Each structure stands twice: as structure tokens, then as C-alpha cells.
Structure 1
Amino acid sequence: MSVVIGEISYTNILPFFYHLDRDALKKRNCQFIPQVPAQLNQEMASGRIDIGGISSFAYAENANAFTLMPNLSVTSYGAVGSIYLFSKVPLQELDGKKVALTLSSASSVHLLKIILEHFYSLSISYTMMKPDIGTMLLEHDACLLIGDDAIVAKRENSDSLYNYDLGDIWYDQTGLPMTFAVFAVRNETLRDHTSLVGYIYRSFLESKLRSESENYQPMIADIVKTYGGNKSFWDKYFLKLCNDFGPQEQRGLSYFFEVLYKMNYIAEPIKTLNIWNTDVTIK
């Protein structure tokens, strides 16, 4: 039986995958499936993907089925640089207006709802749409884009629209980091393939550490070729991101879940995060 690894198709998670020895993992019967976060979330929940990066909200919806991996996340302490609300009017004037939400992400959609409804007490009409800023703003007053879609839209529309970085707003309001994506494994996969899961986890961790030690330079050179933009933008982008998942990142995530429960966006409170104790299980 193979272990299926989900790979979010955005640059912000690339440090964990860039230096993976994919051939070695495939020889150990691992498969890779690249998808946008929303698709990956569904595949993890259904059991078709066993391990990988998923949106934080997807963990909240399936906390009893997943175990989180320590030291791995996509987190920001302030501006994240790839999750934006683009608006025709200032944010405070969106009360009673229409906002288009990307179909690509669950965490960012619910973070925006927390910002608009909980922090600013606005009443908003939402529509889920494919991530295309032109189409989204035809009949809506604002739109949410994430990942590379947001990066390109910011580059091309920064002078014509108000733009708000959701990580920046969250940090200003809470003083806590925002964890957008976590690395999770299905509980039955961890139980049945503990040794292989340990190998995969170490591979993620080693890729992350090597990416950081290189200041992301080989990876950024490839990104510029593939996605465009200038090197200085990507240098600043990755240096702003936090790849860790320690006590402070976990505290911020727990508060995110607390607010989600208060707003009835998740059915059950998440009192503790189920984090794998790798010191015990990995030798």
C-alpha cells in the first residue's frame, strides 16, 4: 500500500518540498499529488491523501482524524504577502456590500470573515468564485485572493484598488501569528506506517532547514523563471514567512480556532492540538 503525499500548488509551501529526494520517497512507495488547498483539504478528509500540507481550517473540521506535525507550517507574524482582500472602497465601507471569495482556500476565507464580521462588525454578502480578479469584481465590491493568484493581482492592481493583507490585520488585532497551513497526517496512516511517516516528516524538515540555510536562493531563482516578479520581491516574501510550528505559532492557531467556534464556523471547540510527539516515535 502506498502513502499519498499532498502538495499545495503554491510557492509559500515550496521550502518544504524543494529539496525533497522524490526518487527516494517514490522507492518507498510514496506518491505525490499537487493541488490547491481546497482540493487537498477534501482529499485528506476523504482518505485519498494520507499526509501533507493542508489549510488550518481543514484541520479544525477534522481534528479527530488528523495528527499535526511539529516544526512545520506556513505562518506569518504580520503581513503574509500572498493573501489579500482587494476592494473598490475602504474596508470600513464594505458594510452591506458584496464580496467574492476564492474557491481555493478555506483558512483564508474564514479569516476574512473573522476580520470583517468579528473585528469590524460588518454585514457582508459573500459569493464563492473561481480566483480571477477581473471576473470577481464585475459584480462585487471586493474580492479575496490567495497564493500566487494574489501575488500577481497585487503586482498588477496595487494602484487601482484598495488592498489589505489579512495576515497584517490579524496580527494588528490579536498580537498573535496566523498559521495558514499545517502539516497533518491521517491517524490511521500514522498508526499503520509509522516508520515511513517518520521518514517523510524528516524529509520535509530537512528540505525546510536547507531552504532556510540557503536563504531560499536556488528556489527563488526557479520561482522567478516560473512565476515572474523580481528577485527582491521573492527575497522579502520568503523572509517574512515563518516555517515553524512551535508554542507561539500553536497559540495563534488555537486562538483562531477559538474565534471560529464562537462564530459557529466549526461545530466543536478544539481544546488541544493533536501534535505528533516525534521524540517518542522517531528513532
Structure 2
Amino acid sequence: MAQPKPRMGRIEYLNVLPIYHALETGRVPHGYELVYGQPSALNAMMQNGELAVASTSSVEYARRPEKYWILPDLAIGSYGTVLSVLLVSRCPVADLDGKTVLVSTATHTSVTLLKLLLKDHARVSVKFETGNTAEYLTMPDKPGAPAAMLVIGDEALRSRNHPVYSHMWDLGEEWLAWTGLPFTFGLWVVSRDAAKRQGLAEDPAHVLHAGRDWSYANMDTLLAAAQERYPYSREALIEYFHCLSYKLGDLEQQGLRLFYDRLAAAGEIPKAPDLAFWPGI
């Protein structure tokens, strides 16, 4: 009887298309079952050992580093503008003191980053509530609408130039202004437990690097595929992909370690974890 394929998590956002398109279309052969979900859902599946490999939030690794290995030289982040992680507000951020900011349960890293930036960078104190950001983007005059909202992924891309939530704060830009370093929103990690139970016949780092490198070498094909699936112009897609980094080099690791240090200082995690990298097969 054939062994089931090890399962690999794939965030349902445009930003990871350059990693997975070649895997999804067979241009990079692989032996994984791709599992799709929101970042928080994939985090939960990784916690429970339901996935062998996944793109997961930087905060998920920080909270449970003993469960994971980080795949080397693979991440999703930005050196400044990211476009898809935004605080959209009815007023300038400096005027948000005492007001309500709505955040989604779909993201962990972006929420903790926003808390740090508002408190220690912008020096404003807000009230955070969890709820449906999409509802208020479409009905901004609905009673109870917040002063500002954190929007991520494709929702953030659609929220640019919103007529009511017209003040935009790009969290990648603000982190760079605060620290001078790039920010890493997500990592690709291997579940130590699931890797033992499911077995990994193929090195996931090699598979995912091959997917990324194929996209770099075939950007016109990738852009055409993105236009078939998403309602954005070629120019908008080029701008977006240009903002994103899929590397985890020395500078990205410096930024990630600083983020973890500041999370620990803020009491969001017990201590800043070491970066434990996948040893390979």
C-alpha cells in the first residue's frame, strides 16, 4: 500500500505564488500534498503536527521554537514597503490615541508587529478589538465601525485608496523607519514531530527553493498566471512582487532577531528564541 504524501501548507495569498506556482503546475515535480489555508489556520495545523512543512508566521516560530526547524534562505518579508500589511485609518496615526483598532484573527505576526509599532514607534495608545475587517471596509458607515483596521494579504491590496479609511500606514515601511532593517513576516518551517512520523523523502528546502528560482527565471509566465487568478494589472503585480523578499540572509536574520528581542521585552513571548535551521535530509 502506498504511503500517504507528506503534507505541505500553502497560504492562500498572492504573496506566496512565486514559491508555489511551479509546484502547483508540475514545473517543479515534488512528492508533497499541498494544503491551503489562512496563516492562522496553518499555524494551528503545524502546532498539532498535521503538516510536515508550511509557510508559517514568524510569531508562531517564536512561540514554539522547540517544535520546528527553519528552512534556510527562504522567507517572506520586505525591505521597507510591503503593500499587503497595512493599518488603514480614518485619521492620521498620530491622532489614534484612545481610539479603537480592529484586527483580524487571520494573522499573528502582523498584529504583534502593529502593537510594537504603535506603542514604541508612533507613541500612541489604542484599544484593540478582534473582528471582521472586510465588513467595515465595505460598509464603513455601519454603527460601531472602528477608527482604524489592520488589513493583510489580498484584502490589503484591495484597500489601497479606500474613500473612508484613507490614511495608510505600511507596516514594512514603519519597521524599516524604526530599525533600519528588513522585516520577515513569515518563515517556512518543518515540524519536527510530523517529519519523524510522516517521513520526508524529498528535502523541502530543495523543492521550495526550486519553485522560487523558477519564478525568478520565468517572471513573465508567473505574471500571466497571477493575472488569470487575481484582479490586478501587470504593472500592479510587478510593483507588488518587487516589494517582497523571499530570502533569509544575514540582514533578514538580524531584523528577525531584533523583532524577537522586542517581542520578549514587551512580554509577548517568554524569551527570544535561537534560529534553529533544518539540517537537511
1:177 pairs with 2:179? no
Corresponding residue for residue 80 of structure 2:
78
2:140–2:164 CA contact under 8 A, matched in 1: no
Separation (CA, whole Å) in 2 of partners of 1:51 and 1:210? 20
1:152 pairs with 2:137? no
Q: Which among 193, 212, 219 is matched to residue 216 of structure 2?
A: 212
Separation (CA, whole Å) in 2 of partners of 1:251 and 1:197? 29
Structure 1, residues 139-158: CA drift from partner, whole Å, max 9, x if none? Answer: 2100000000100111x516
Equivalence map 1:1-150=2 (5 Å) = 1-20=4-23, 24-25=29-30, 28=31, 30-132=32-134, 133-134=137-138, 138=142, 139-150=145-156
Separation (CA, whole Å) in 2 of partners of 1:275 and 1:206? 18
Which amino acid counterpart does residue 80 of structure 2 have in structure 1? G
2:72–2:205 CA contact under 8 A, matched in 1: no
Structure 1, residues 127-172: CA drift from partner, whole Å, max 9, x if none? Answer: 1123402357742100000000100111x51686101110000001
Which amino acid counterpart does residue 174 of structure 1 have in structure 2? T
Which amino acid counterpart does residue 184 of structure 2 have in structure 1? T
1:137–1:143 CA contact under 8 A, matched in 2: no
Q: Which among 225, 231, 235 is matched to residue 232 of structure 1?
A: 235
The 3-state SS of whatever aligns with 1:116 is helix
Superposition RMSD on alpha carbons, in Å? 2.0
The 3-state SS of whatever aligns with 1:211 is helix
Q: Percent identity?
A: 26
Which amino acid counterpart does residue 74 of structure 2 have in structure 1? L
Separation (CA, whole Å) in 2 of partners of 1:137 and 1:127? 18
Give the Å deviation of 1:2: 3.5
Corresponding residue for residue 246 of structure 2:
243
Separation (CA, whole Å) in 1 of partners of 2:93 and 2:25? 44
Query: What are the ranges of 5 or more consecutive residues in structure 2 without an aligned counterpart?
Result: none
The 3-state SS of whatever aligns with 1:196 is coil
State the number of aligned residues: 272
Structure 1, residues 34-75: CA drift from partner, whole Å, max 9, x if none? Answer: 001011111111111221100111111111110000111101
Which amino acid counterpart does residue 88 of structure 1 have in structure 2? R
Q: TM-score, normalised by structure 2?
A: 0.90
1:37–1:104 CA contact under 8 A, matched in 2: yes
Separation (CA, whole Å) in 2 of partners of 1:122 and 1:43? 35
Separation (CA, whole Å) in 2 of partners of 1:10 and 1:129? 20
Corresponding residue for residue 206 of structure 2:
202
Separation (CA, whole Å) in 1 of partners of 2:69 and 2:165? 43
2:76–2:246 CA contact under 8 A, matched in 1: yes
Separation (CA, whole Å) in 2 of partners of 1:162 and 1:9? 26
1:100–1:136 CA contact under 8 A, matched in 2: no
Structure 1, residues 204-238: CA drift from partner, whole Å, max 9, x if none? Answer: 10110111122x32122122222212111111111
